[in-house]
Amino acid sequence: MTADKRNNSHQWLRMKPKLSKAASQLREQIDDSFPDRDRASDGWIGDTRHAARKSDHNPDEQGWVRAIDVDKDLFKGGKPDIMGDLADQLRTLSRSKKDKRISYIIYDGRICSRILNWKWRKYTGANKHTKHMHVSFKKEADNDGAFFQVSMLGGE
């Protein structure tokens, strides 16, 4: 491999990452609806573990990041524990086909996506996502910051 090819192979490392507008909108709605929530497990930029593999937390060649992690504790002290309800409302919205921006959701050892029509199934990855909900977005959502119509977040 030439030096030029080596230098361009990780071009995104030099590019300023930008979060998908759909991801930004969802995070903003969660923050607005739960202003005192715990943010310890929040994130969107992949760490070195993510950088070593394919992950929606890693910027693509244009710098887009298409995933967010949201801490499961939406209230101080973690009670009531309603992140499962929010994950389910996002799943239901995606299944309805009224909103097609979400690619998949992982929470509490389960994953859902258009595979099996958004039905929850066992997640077999190493991180069971018990401390946070992971939401990945489609490329088409990069420039779509429309409001998510989810009742827990102020929607219909």
Average pLDDT, the chain: 89
Relative to beta strand 64-65, strand 18-19 is: parallel
- For 116, the domain range is 3-153
Is residue 80 reached through a cis peptide bond, with omega within 30 degrees of 0 on the bond before it? yes
Q: What is the pLDDT of residues 76-108, one digit of tens each?
A: 888 999 999 999 999 999 999 899 999 999 999
Element holding 4 (H helix, E strand):
helix 3-9
Q: What is the pLDDT of residues 3-39, one digit of tens each?
A: 333 344 454 456 799 999 999 999 999 999 999 999 9
How many domains does the chain contain in total?
Answer: 1
pTM of the model: 0.88
